[in-house]
Amino acid sequence: MPTKVNVKYKLSLIVKHPKEESDMALDNKNLTAVLYSIEGVGAVFVVIFLAAYLGGIPTTNVLQNQPAFRIPLTVLGVVILILILAGTILAVKYRK
């Protein structure tokens, strides 16, 4: 006869729990917003990168050196790197 196992899944290790009131902890709503912002910045980065890479087809031109593509890729790359590093630091800080 199979045994039922109750397992609680957490969205992240930095979620604020009802018994633990930490000033820096995020609740589920704020954590979801942070995760969606990281995904959104990454998705925009990939779209611009693919447009620059595939925009030159059928020739062999790659448009990544053009300022119209290079500047947004640089800005979004730095933003996503900062968001990923901040998320990693928070996850390590609030790891149980």
pLDDT for 43? 92
* Per-residue pLDDT tens digits for 10-52: 444 445 555 555 555 667 787 788 888 888 999 999 998 888 8
Higher-pLDDT residue of 92, 73: 73
CA pair distance 83, 66, nearest whole angstrom: 26
CB-side neighbour CA atoms (13 Å) of 34: 20
pLDDT for 96? 53
pLDDT for 11? 47
Which pair of structure tokens corresponds to residue 74? Answer: 């640089």
Q: Indicate the burial class of 78 (C-beta count within 10 angstroms; 0-12, 13-18, 19 or more).
A: exposed
Torsion of CA 22, 25, 29, 35, to 10 degrees: 180
